[in-house]
Structures are given as structure tokens and as C-alpha cells.
Homo-oligomer: A and B are copies of this chain.
Amino acid sequence: MPTPEELDRIHIVLVRARNPNNIGAAARAMHDFGLRHLRVVNDYTVPFESARSAVDASEVLADAVACATLAEAIADCTLVVGTTAVGERDLQHPLLPLPKAAPSILAELRRNTGPNSAPGRVALLFGSEKTGLSNDELSHCNFLLTIPMQQREGERHLSLNLGQAVAVCLYEISRTPAQPVPAHPDIPSLPVPEAPKQREADPISGELDRLAQLIEETMEAVNYTTRGMRSANGEALRVLLRRLMPNDADLRRMMGLFRRILWQLKRPHDKF
């Protein structure tokens, strides 16, 4: 069972949620399982304003933060986990059933991510009621989790509503035993324990975005990618960087190399 301090490092991020009742139900589940930090991403007037006025809306809702973009909502997190109902699309991410995902989430909350001993921060993403998370939104994730179901053959696929999905995920996280459990081997990220020398800090999501941008710029500078392919490649690149999980030193090295390449490419050669 995670400690209150650990639970404070989990951010529930509702992306494009449309129904204030669902936002209210998600906040309620958070309150019940001891979480505090709700972030709501919407590109229009955030519907949780009306959820806030609902009776029994908890302190969680009062303190919820509205973000204009998903990148902003997860910028300070070291692990980003998307939730998905399987069978929807071809997934490019590792997909873990919830009972296996929860120990990885807890391990991240307990992981020392760098020299100043900052522990990991986790974002748990839930998509809109109708469409779930888009491919672009999924590209920000390190891995995906799904709630295992047992629908009967031949029956329609229905998924849990948003409030139910949040409640089930938080229940599982909160029931996970206190003993550190080895992270699932299919997630390349969760760090191979290295020799106990000084460790480099892990970059947060916003830093990975900056590296991705730089690489995209380089790709464009060398015509590696046509303008039309850019958004698809950008998405793939975000997925790649999150799956690889470079640490801070790796990131600096890669940023340095790509800056240098760009500088070299942009030198006015024809003046020689």
C-alpha cells in the first residue's frame, strides 16, 4: 500500500473528458484512495467548472489544475502511463494488464531518479469517454495499461465509464503490497539497476519533448522526412524516446550532438 507521500506523486490526467459527472466521479475515487493531484486537459472551457459545483465534490476537484495541452500536464513527470481498452488500435507501446502495471507504477514512485534524490512522479492518463486517448496522446506514454475484462464471446464491447476506470485503477494501485516488486521485464525503461555509482537524473517529460523537437529539426534539415510525414514521425519519435528512457546525461549528450549537427548543416558553405 503506497504511503500518502507516494500517492501525492501520482497525477491523474483526464484528457478531453466531456461529462462533468465523470470528472466528479474520478475526483471522488481519487479522494477515496488518498490521491490529491488532478489535471484536466481540454482545448475548450474546462467542464470541471460545473463539476466543481456539484454536491460532495471533494477537495481534489477544488484543487484540480486545467492545462491547455497534454505536454504541459505531464511536463514534470518521470513516468507517463496511458490507459486503454484493448482491441481499439494497433499499439506501439508495451501493454500491461493492470495487476502487472501497478507494481511498475509503485516502483517508479519509490525510485531515486537522480543525484538530488528526487523520487519519480507518475502521470496516469485517461482519454475522452468516446474515443479514449488518441495516437498523438498515446505517443507521450512510456507504457499502456488495460483493465483485464472477460466479455463473453459474441457480445458487444462496452467499456467501463470514466469514473469506474479511475476507481478500478486506483483500487489496484492502493492494494499493491508495500514490498518493492520487480518491474515487469517487458518494460525496457524501468531501470536496470546499475552499479551503485552516482546516477544521472532521469529527464522529465518536457525535456524529452525538447530533444524530440531538435531531432525533428535535424531530420527536416537533412530532408530525412518530408513535411507531410512530419507529424507521423514526431509521434513515432516521442514514442521512441519514452520507450528508450534516456537519463539526463544521455539527453545532454544527444542534445549536444544534434545541436552540433544542425549548426554544421546551417553553416553558409557556399561562402568558402
**For the complex, what is the distance from the CA of A148 to the CA of B163, rounded to whole Å?**
17
Residue of B nearest to A197 (CB): B95
Contact with B along A87-119 (1 / 0, CB 8 A): 000000001011110010000000000000000
One of A40-48, A72-80, A135-143, A252-260 at the interface: A252-260
Which residues of A170-218 have CB atoms within 8 Å of chain B's CB atoms? Answer: 171-172, 174-175, 177, 181, 185-189, 191-192, 194, 197, 199, 215, 218
With the chains together, A160 CA to B219 CA distance in Å? 50
- Chain B residues positioned under 8 Å from A243 (CB to CB): 192, 250
| 8 Å CB interface, A256-272 against B | 256-257, 260-261, 263-265, 269-270, 272
With a cutoff of 8 Å between Cβ atoms, the chain B residues found around residue A33 in the complex are 149-150
Q: Are B149 and A32 in contact (CB under 8 A)?
A: yes
Interchain CB contact (< 8 A) of A34 among B150, B185, B199: B150
CA distance A243 to B253 in the complex (A): 14
Residues 134 to 173 of chain A near chain B (Cβ within 8 Å): 147-152, 155-156, 158-161, 163-165, 167-168, 171-172
Of B156, B168, B189, B191, which one neighbours A167 at CB under 8 angstroms?
B168
Task: Please state if B158 and A32 are interface contacts (CB–CB under 8 Å).
Answer: yes
Are B164's CB and A29's CB within 8 A? yes
Write the residues of chain A forming the contact surface with B, with a CB cutoff of 8 angstroms: 1, 4, 7, 25, 28-29, 31-34, 56, 58-59, 95, 97-100, 103, 147-152, 155-156, 158-161, 163-165, 167-168, 171-172, 174-175, 177, 181, 185-189, 191-192, 194, 197, 199, 215, 218-219, 221-224, 236, 240, 243-246, 250, 253, 256-257, 260-261, 263-265, 269-270, 272
B residues within 8 A CB of A253? 236, 240
- Are B188 and A260 within 8 A (Cβ)? no
15 contacts between A and B (CB under 8 A): A28-B161, A29-B160, A29-B164, A31-B158, A32-B160, A56-B158, A58-B155, A98-B175, A100-B191, A160-B167, A186-B199, A215-B257, A222-B261, A240-B253, A269-B269
B260 pairs with A7, CB closer than 8 A: no
* A151-B31 contact in complex given A164-B164, A185-B175, A270-B270, C-beta closer than 8 Å: yes
In contact, A240 and B250 (Cβ under 8 angstroms): yes
**Known interface pairs A25-B163, A188-B244, A269-B270; 11 further A-B residue pairs with C-beta atoms within 8 A, sorted by A's residue number:** A4-B150, A31-B155, A32-B150, A34-B152, A58-B155, A98-B175, A99-B189, A177-B185, A223-B260, A244-B245, A269-B272
